[in-house]
Each structure stands twice: as structure tokens, then as C-alpha cells.
Chain A
């Protein structure tokens, strides 16, 4: 499968934080959920991919091209949402269209205003008069109106109510319909990702802990709930992490089928991405 984005051994050092050999691949026509707790390195990774951060090592290929050598060419085909970064709030929605048509060669004013109408935004409104949800919608409309092939979105659904989130998610689903476009989407709201993401990449403390298809994770991984006695019987090789609660143990396992064959433990819950994050971060190895 052709990859639209390839990140290989990305390293970036700060005084108190480090990205350590971050690597993952996003195939064409797919949505990748990029998850991790606050400060895990999601935004640093995204900013490095976009060359908003510069002093990093490693290789980033977008559309098969080196992201440094072909930076401007690549950026024509990328749509971006960054957390708390947008146009000066004194500008109006009309102003954004007026500016962006001279920024991107493929800017589509008709598409921009079609979505503005669809989301019931007033084109004469200044950004500062819009609610957080409306501003987020405007950011999304702005990032897709030049027909990009790749969307890189940092927390696009944060601060949105469930209805607005569902409207936005349906835009993302429309976006990848032609199977030529992909989305890298970082989010804390993992329930959204369970519905739309084809791949999940999980970053913690600057390191990629896993990068797999969502189906693989949701069907294969599981949470075993057992007593201390049962836990002591489990071989260390057969679990990834565990959390000791007051009355029981929660154990993260990678292969549900194999585990059920080997152990006679009855309570094996289907995993959610929230469980996965919690156990991977807080659990003991």
C-alpha cells in the first residue's frame, strides 16, 4: 500500500523532553489517530513534520518526497489545524477567503463558502466574535478548501460539543472518500477515533508505543480482570501492563485468542482506546 506520510527515526531534544526515534507510516486513503497524554510529544511530532520546528533529526517523507527538499511543493497539498494557532482574530471570514486565495494555488472559494453556509457561519463575522466551536469549524473549513491530499490536525475536535464533533467527523469521512487523501489526527477524544480512525499511533514520553490498525487493536487487545491469585498464574510474557486495584487486577493483553486458550480467566473485557492509554501509561510492566 502506498504511504502518504512516512516518519522515520524522528528525534528532537528539549531541555526537559525528547522525541526518541519516532517512526510510523500513514497509507493513502486512511485516517490515523495519533494519541497520547498531554506532553507526550504529539504536537512536537506534528510541528516537526510540518517544519514549524526545524532542529530535529530523522526523515520525513510526504507523498513520497523528502519534506525538507520539497517543503513548498508538499505544503501546497497539506491542510493543517494547529492547536490555538490561526488567523488574527480581528479578521473576518470573508478576509480569510480573500487572503487564502493568494496563498494556495488550488484555493476553492466556492467550496469554502459552501461549507460556511452549511455550518451556518456569517461570512462578515470577525473571528473574535465566533464561539470556540464555530472557530474550530472555520479552521476545518479553511484547511480543506484548497483540496489538500493530506490533513494534519492537532486536536481538531477539542472544545466541541458532540453534535459539532459529529458534523466535523462526517467532513473528515467525506474527505477520504476518494481514497487518495489521508488524515493524521491527534486527539484526546479517543471515542471519536474508534469510529473513524483506520490506524492508531500511540505516543508516550516521546516514544511510539504502538502503531497498528484500529481493528487489530480493538479485536486483539483486551483487558483481563482477575484476582491476585489468578494474576500470579499469568506468565509475564503473556501481558503487556497491569494495574493493581483495591480488589482486583486489570491486565492488558495483546492476543485475546491465545490468552483464552492458555488461561481459564472468565472476565476479559473488550478494550477501548481510553483503557489502552490508561494501562499503557499508568500500568506496570
Chain B
């Protein structure tokens, strides 16, 4: 599996100049416009991971790698691990840039930016967890349209969930919900569990699809 992760990393390295340019551009924007740059995590991670799928598909690497020992399982597993690895790296880079901006502008460190970055990671992970089974099912080209639909449904669902939560009665009749929202540790634990479960479910679905796939 390490071989597959290396492959993804080496492919990203091939585009390192364009990625660095994007990061520098947003860094400069952050300095001049006082902008929060945490949004580059989902933006770049989706771009990077989609490009790895595109390269694999363009050169029929998926079929080729199916002839390797454990090729199919390792291919899927490594995509999820590469994603987590990439999110961590991007977070470190974004935090570093945020710190550099503060140093450069001689301002106090904006902890709000850090919390935004921390929130962005699980959200991106959930989005990619939604994307991957679709990509494995339809292939990267056809999946693009399906992804738009999923993003649309996902956004609407989140909106409805938030609306539903806001309309809930917090006066003690919904004691469980009150407990969850009044205790941030329970909330964090709950969110972490939802994320882990979503990623795991996404992985199992992707693997099931990919194991049956014919090239």
C-alpha cells in the first residue's frame, strides 16, 4: 500500500510549482486583504485528489495496478490515507502561512483563523468521503457531474439540518440535544465519531465497488 501512497505523493510533486504558486498568491492576498485563507484547504485538497484520479484514469493505471498483489484493496485504501495525509500537510502549510502573515503584518495571531482551519479539515474529509464512492463507481470523468449533484444535495441537507436544530426546543424537553449542545466535549466527540464513521463507510463502499469493477 505504501507504494500507492508514494505514487500519489510523487504525482503531486510533479505539480508542485503550480501548487506553490497558488499558495503564494493566497498568502499575498491574506497579507493585503486581511483575508482568512483556511478555505484553501478544501479548494486545494479537492483539486489535488481529483488530479490524482485523473492521472490514474488517463493512463489506465487502475487496470494496470489490478494486476499487482492486493492491487485493488491497496489502491482504494491508499487513496483515503493519501487524502488524510494531504489534509494534514495542507493544514500545517496553511497554519504556517497564517503565522507568517501575522509576523509580516506585526499583528496579533488570529486564533479564529486556526479554529477555521481545524473546522475545515473534517468538512473537507466528509466532502471527499462523499465524492470517492461516486468516482469509483462512475470514473472520474462521469463523476464530475454526479459530484455537482452531491454537493448540491449535501449543501441543502446541511441547511435543513441547521434549520431543524435552530427550531428545536432547548428548554429542557429535549434533554439529550440540550446535553449535546451545552457540552462542547460531547459535541466534539460526536462530530469526530460521525466523521470517522462516514470515512469508514465511504471506504467500505468504494472498496466494494472497486473490487467488482472490470477494466
Docked CA distance A99–B71 (Å): 13
A110 sits at the interface (CB 8 A): no
Shortest distance from the beta carbon of B77 to any chain A beta carbon, whole Å: 13
Considering only residues 72-86 of chain A, those with a C-beta below 8 Å from chain B are 72-73, 75-76, 78, 80, 82, 84-86
> Chain B: interface secondary structure?
helix
Chain B residues positioned under 8 Å from A55 (CB to CB): 214
> Chain A: interface secondary structure?
loop
Take A82-B63, A88-B55 as given contacts and tell me if A95 and B10 are in contact as well, using a CB distance cutoff of 8 Å: yes
B126 sits at the interface (CB 8 A): no
From A72, A89, A91, contact of B7 by CB (8 A): A91
Count the B residues whose beta carbon is within 8 Å of the partner chain — how many? 28
Q: Are A88 and B69 in contact (CB under 8 A)?
A: no
Considering only residues 29-82 of chain A, those with a C-beta below 8 Å from chain B are 47, 50-55, 72-73, 75-76, 78, 80, 82
Take A100-B3, A102-B6 as given contacts and tell me if A90 and B68 are in contact as well, using a CB distance cutoff of 8 Å: no
Docked CA distance A249–B60 (Å): 45
Q: Are B67 and A99 in contact (CB under 8 A)?
A: no
Q: Are B70 and A72 in contact (CB under 8 A)?
A: yes
A13 sits at the interface (CB 8 A): no
Q: Are B14 and A50 in contact (CB under 8 A)?
A: no
Q: Are B69 and A103 in contact (CB under 8 A)?
A: yes
Count the A residues whose beta carbon is within 8 Å of the partner chain — how many? 31
Q: Are A88 and B214 in contact (CB under 8 A)?
A: no
B2 sits at the interface (CB 8 A): yes
B148 sits at the interface (CB 8 A): no
Chain A residues positioned under 8 Å from B6 (CB to CB): 95, 98-99, 102
Chain B residues positioned under 8 Å from A24 (CB to CB): none
Q: Are B3 and A101 in contact (CB under 8 A)?
A: yes
Chain A residues positioned under 8 Å from B7 (CB to CB): 87-88, 91, 95, 99
B58 sits at the interface (CB 8 A): yes
Q: Are B64 and A82 in contact (CB under 8 A)?
A: yes
Q: Are A86 and B67 in contact (CB under 8 A)?
A: no
A104 sits at the interface (CB 8 A): yes
Shortest distance from the beta carbon of B52 to any chain A beta carbon, whole Å: 8
Closest to B1 in A: A102
Q: Are B59 and A86 in contact (CB under 8 A)?
A: yes
Q: Are A102 and B2 in contact (CB under 8 A)?
A: yes
Shortest distance from the beta carbon of A20 to any chain B beta carbon, whole Å: 19
Take A95-B10, A102-B6 as given contacts and tell me if A88 and B68 are in contact as well, using a CB distance cutoff of 8 Å: no
B61 sits at the interface (CB 8 A): yes
Contact with B along A96-116 (1 / 0, CB 8 A): 001111111000000000000
Q: Are A85 and B59 in contact (CB under 8 A)?
A: yes
Q: Are A85 and B64 in contact (CB under 8 A)?
A: yes
User: How many contacts between A and B, using CB within 8 angstroms?
Assistant: 89
Shortest distance from the beta carbon of B198 to any chain A beta carbon, whole Å: 28
Shortest distance from the beta carbon of A58 to any chain B beta carbon, whole Å: 16
Closest to B51 in A: A90
Chain A residues positioned under 8 Å from B212 (CB to CB): 54
Docked CA distance A55–B212 (Å): 8
Shortest distance from the beta carbon of B17 to any chain A beta carbon, whole Å: 12
Shortest distance from the beta carbon of B6 to any chain A beta carbon, whole Å: 5
Q: Are B69 and A85 in contact (CB under 8 A)?
A: no
From B3, B10, B15, B215, contact of A52 by CB (8 A): B215
Docked CA distance A224–B2 (Å): 59
Q: Are B10 and A99 in contact (CB under 8 A)?
A: yes
Closest to B56 in A: A88
From A53, A82, A88, A99, contact of B58 by CB (8 A): A88
Q: Are B214 and A104 in contact (CB under 8 A)?
A: no
Docked CA distance A115–B61 (Å): 23
B11 sits at the interface (CB 8 A): yes
Shortest distance from the beta carbon of B35 to any chain A beta carbon, whole Å: 31
Q: Are A88 and B215 in contact (CB under 8 A)?
A: no
Considering only residues 130-178 of chain A, those with a C-beta below 8 Å from chain B are none
Docked CA distance A33–B48 (Å): 42
Chain B residues positioned under 8 Å from A98 (CB to CB): 6, 10
Contacts beyond the supplied A50-B67, A75-B69, A85-B59: 15 A-B pairs with Cβ under 8 Å: A47-B63, A53-B215, A55-B214, A80-B64, A82-B60, A85-B61, A88-B58, A88-B59, A90-B11, A98-B6, A100-B3, A102-B6, A103-B3, A103-B4, A126-B14
Report, nearest first, the 8 A-B pairs whose CB atoms are least far apart.
Answer: A102-B3, A88-B55, A85-B60, A102-B2, A103-B3, A90-B14, A85-B64, A75-B69
B interface residue numbers (CB < 8 A to A): 1-4, 6-7, 10-11, 14-15, 55-56, 58-61, 63-64, 66-71, 212-215
